[in-house]
């Protein structure tokens, strides 16, 4: 049903030339994509930039008339590639392992009834440190194994979505996942 609604929005966009349809897709996925990139990047601003760019790239796909079977998985794929590009650029020399920052205002939101800004910042800093430990451990695995493990166990994507992100078949992704778990145990 989710994909059906997405395809309907794409249909409105292409046939009715209604930009609001793109707005609906944005509303649906912006938080997910932001969440996906946030801990992988050194700052909130970087996460915002990458998220914006992901939607601009999606817009490009729509303009080109490319077939889009799964909007969500495509967005994740674009975002993932953009995170990789971010670290490949010459001016960014900070590896992910050293992206823990102590900016006082690096939180993304103030919400009532939840962690205070300070508390949220502390947990996010901890998580970035934890993520770097995880990356250190899985760095010894093959790239395929690493990608599938992280997308599944941290980002919580389903095998079908992972297959679209990595441009493989779902069956292949499952096999990789089982092998990756085994390889992880042997590390």
Partner 1 sequence: MSHRDFRQLMNSVRKTERSVIPDPSWVAQNRIRLLSHASSNMPKEVSAVRSSAAEIFKGFVPTQLFYWMRRPAMAFLYLFAIMLGGSFASVSASERSLPGDFLYPVKLATEQTRFALTGDSSEKLRLKTESVQRRVDEIRQVATQPMEHKQERIKAAAENLKRDLYSAKQQLTDVSAGTSPKATLEAAKLLDEQSSAVVQGLQEVKESIPAGSKAIVTEAESAAVSTGVKAVTVLIGSKDTPEGAEVISADELKLSIEGKVLALENKIQETSEKLRLSTTSSTISATSTVPALMSSSTASFASTTASIAVANAALTEAKVFIQENKLELVPNKLLEAAQGTADANLVMSSVSSSPAIISGSASTTSGAVAPTSSTPVTSVSVPTSTTETSPP
Q: Which residues bind partner 1 (CB under 8 A)?
A: 1-2, 5, 14-15, 17, 19-20, 22-23, 26-27, 30-31, 34-36, 38-39, 44, 47-48, 51-52, 55-56, 59, 63, 108-109, 111, 114-115, 120, 123-124, 126-127, 130-131, 133-134, 137, 153-156, 158-159, 170-171, 174-175, 178-179, 181-182, 184-185
Least distance (Å) from partner 1 to the CB of residue 173? 10
| Nearer of residues 47 and 82 to partner 1, judged by Cβ | 47
| Nearer of residues 1 and 90 to partner 1, judged by Cβ | 1
| Nearer of residues 36 and 86 to partner 1, judged by Cβ | 36
| Nearer of residues 111 and 116 to partner 1, judged by Cβ | 111
Least distance (Å) from partner 1 to the CB of residue 65? 9
* C-alpha span between 155 and 162 (Å, rounded): 10
| Nearer of residues 16 and 95 to partner 1, judged by Cβ | 16
Phi-psi region of 139 (alpha: psi -120 to 50; beta: other; left: phi over 0): alpha
Least distance (Å) from partner 1 to the CB of residue 129? 10
What distance, in Å, lies between the first and last C-alpha atoms of the chain? 41
| Nearer of residues 91 and 185 to partner 1, judged by Cβ | 185
Least distance (Å) from partner 1 to the CB of residue 32? 8
Least distance (Å) from partner 1 to the CB of residue 182? 7
DSSP assignment string, the chain: -HHHHHHHHHHIIIII--HHHHHHHHHHHHHHHHHHHHTTSSSHHHHHHHHHHHHHHHHHHHHHT---S-HHHHHHHHHHHHHHHHHHSTT----GGG-----TT--S---TTS--HHHHHHHHHHHHHHHHHHHHHHTTS-HHHHHHHHHHHTS---HHHHHHHHTS-HHHHHHHHHHHHHHHHH-
Least distance (Å) from partner 1 to the CB of residue 90? 26
């Amino acid at each position: 049903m989710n994909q059906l609604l997405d395809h309907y929005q794409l249909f409105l966009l292409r046939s009715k030339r209604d930009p609001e349809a793109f707005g609906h897709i944005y509303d649906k996925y912006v938080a997910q994509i932001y969440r996906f990139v946030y801990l992988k990047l050194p700052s909130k601003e970087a996460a915002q930039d990458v998220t914006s760019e992901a939607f601009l790239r999606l817009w490009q796909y729509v303009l080109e008339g490319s077939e889009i079977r799964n909007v969500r998985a495509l967005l994740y794929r674009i975002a993932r590639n953009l995170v990789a590009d971010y670290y490949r650029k010459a001016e960014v020399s900070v590896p992910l392992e050293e992206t823990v920052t102590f900016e006082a205002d690096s939180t993304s939101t103030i919400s009532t009834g939840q962690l205070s800004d300070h508390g949220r910042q502390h947990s996010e800093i901890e998580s970035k440190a934890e993520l770097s430990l995880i990356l250190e451990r899985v760095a010894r695995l093959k790239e395929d194994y690493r990608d599938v493990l992280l997308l599944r166990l941290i980002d919580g994507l389903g095998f079908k979505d992972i297959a679209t992100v990595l441009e493989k078949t779902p069956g292949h992704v499952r096999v990789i996942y089982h092998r990756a778990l085994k390889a992880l145990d042997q590390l």
